[in-house]
Structure 1
Amino acid sequence: MDISPYLFPPEDLAQTESTRTTVLRYHLAWKARDIEAVMALYHPDVTYEDYYQNRILHLPDLREYALQLMPSVPGTSLVHDDRIRVDGDTAFIQYRICVAGDKGLFALRSSEAITVKAEKIWRVREYATLVHENHPPQTADQQTRQPLARLGLNPRLLAFMAQTVEDYLSKQQPYLDPEFRLQTLADATGYTRNQLSYLLNQVFGQTFYQYVNQARLRHVLDLLATLPTASIDRLAFDAGFRSLSVFYTCFRKHTGQTPTAWMQQYSVRTRKEDK
C-alpha cells in the first residue's frame, strides 16, 4: 500500500517515517487477520474511539472488538478512497466497502486517524457512516445508526457479516437441508439472530426464508443447466424446498416464467448455441 507523507520540516521526517512503518505493520496485520500481531502493536495506554457507536475502548476491550471487526473470509478487503497519509505522529486512512442488496447499494464509508507513540498504536479515532446510494446520506444514516449501535454493529462489521454469510451459503450449502433455520446460521457464523435479521432485512432487503429460498432456486437453476431432463420437482425437493407451491412462486418471481416455460426457452437457446 502506498503511504505518501506530506512535505515536512526536517525535524519531523524521523517521526513521520516511524509512524509510517508502524501503521504499515498494523495495516498488514489486519489484512492477514493476525489478531496477535494486531494486539502486539497496541500501546499499553491505547485509546480506541469508535464515534459511530459512541464507544471508547482501552487495551482490555480491544481483542474482542478487533475479532468482531476482522474479516473472517479470505479475499475480503477494504477499498481505500485515498492513500494513507502521514503527518508526524498521526496517519490518516479513508476506505469504502460496498454491500449490494435488493434495496440497492449500501456504501460503508470510514476514516481513521491513527496516532503512534513509541512505535505503538496509541490512539485510534474512527468515524464511519452507512449510506444508501439511492438516498441522501443523512436520511440513511438517521435510519440505520440507532439500531446498528444497539445491536453492537458498525458499518465495517456489517460488511464483513454480509461477506461471511454469502461465503457460508456458497461453500457449505446449508440451504439443502429443509430444516435450515436462522438459529443454524447464527450458530455457524457466530452472529446473533438479531444481527443477522438486520443484515438480511435492511441490506439484502429480504426475510431469512426469502434469502434462503433464493439460494435454493439458484441451486436448482444451476442443476437444470447440466441436467436438462431431470425432474424439476425432484430437484426442488433436493434443493431444500419443502413445498412445491413455494418453489413455483419463487421460480416465477425471480425468472418471470413457470419452470416449464423456462425449460422450453432454455432448450431452444441451447440448440441455437450448439449449431
Structure 2
Amino acid sequence: MYQEKERYKNKIISEENILKIEQLLPSVIEREMFLNPDFTLDQAAKELKISKHVLSQYLNEKLNKSFSSFINECRIEKAKVLLQNKSNYSVESVGYESGFSSKSSFFTAFKKITGQTPSEFQKSSKN
C-alpha cells in the first residue's frame, strides 16, 4: 500500500477528475458491471472516461483500496444479498453469480472481507 502512495506522490488528481469519478462510479456499481468476472480497471476507466492510472490513483488515495479490492468488495456485497435471499442457490453458485471466476477466489475474498465463510454468513443471517 505504501508503495502505491509513493508511486503517485508527484501526481495530483485534478478536482475535475475527482468530481467525475465521484459522480459516475456509483452508476458503474449500480449497473453491476463488476458481475462480469473479466471486468478490468481498463474497462472501468473507459466507462468513467478517465485514464486507468487516474482511476487507480483515486482508489488508492481516496478509498485506500486497489481496484481488485474495490471490485471484490462490490462482489461480496452482492453475494451477501444473494446468500440472504436465495436459499435455493448453492454457495458456489452465489460466488459465480456475484462475479467470481472460481469457488476458491470467492471463498478467499468472502472470508477476508467478512471474517466468515459464505456458509457461516448464510447461517448467521437466517438467525
Please tell me the TM-score bracket, short chain as reference: 0.7 to 0.9
Cα distance in 1 for residues equivalent to 2:9 and 2:21: 17
Cα distance in 2 for residues equivalent to 1:205 and 1:245: 25
RMSD: 2.0
TM-score norm. by structure 2 comes to 0.83
Alignment partner of 1:197 is 2:61: no
Cα distance in 2 for residues equivalent to 1:162 and 1:259: 30
**Which residue among 174, 193, 198 is the counterpart of 2:33?**
174
Cα distance in 2 for residues equivalent to 1:207 and 1:145: 16
Deviation at 1:243, TM superposition (A): 2.1
Query: Which has more radius of gyration?
Result: 1
Alignment partner of 1:163 is 2:14: no
Residues 150-206 of structure 1, C-alpha deviations (whole Å, 9 max, x = no match): xxx323531431331122122x21111111111111221100011101011111111
Name whichever structure is richer in helix by fraction: 2
Structural mapping, 1:98-247, within 5 Å: 146-148=10-12, 153-170=13-30, 172-247=31-106
Cα distance in 2 for residues equivalent to 1:163 and 1:246: 30
Deviation at 1:229, TM superposition (A): 3.6
Structural mapping, 1:20-169, within 5 Å: 146-148=10-12, 153-169=13-29
Indicate the SS of the match to 2:25: helix
TM-score norm. by structure 1 comes to 0.41
> One-letter code of the match for 1:253?
K
> One-letter code of the match for 1:167?
S
Cα distance in 1 for residues equivalent to 2:22 and 2:61: 11
Structure 2, unaligned stretches of length 5 or more?
A: 1-7
Name whichever structure is richer in strand by fraction: 1
> One-letter code of the match for 2:26?
E
Deviation at 1:219, TM superposition (A): 0.8
Cα distance in 1 for residues equivalent to 2:94 and 2:22: 27
Cα distance in 2 for residues equivalent to 1:201 and 1:214: 14
Identity value in percent:
24
Structure 1, unaligned stretches of length 5 or more?
A: 1-143, 269-275
Indicate the SS of the match to 2:21: helix
Deviation at 1:145, TM superposition (A): 7.3
Contact 2:35 2:97 in 1 (8 A): yes
Contact 2:83 2:118 in 1 (8 A): no
Structure 1 runs (4+) deviating above 6 angstroms are none
Q: Which residue in 2 is equivalent to 1:46?
A: none
Q: Which residue in 1 is equivalent to 2:5?
A: none
> One-letter code of the match for 1:203?
K
Cα distance in 1 for residues equivalent to 2:119 and 2:94: 13
Aligned length: 121
Contact 1:162 1:199 in 2 (8 A): no
Contact 2:45 2:55 in 1 (8 A): yes
Cα distance in 2 for residues equivalent to 1:187 and 1:235: 28
Cα distance in 2 for residues equivalent to 1:154 and 1:145: 14
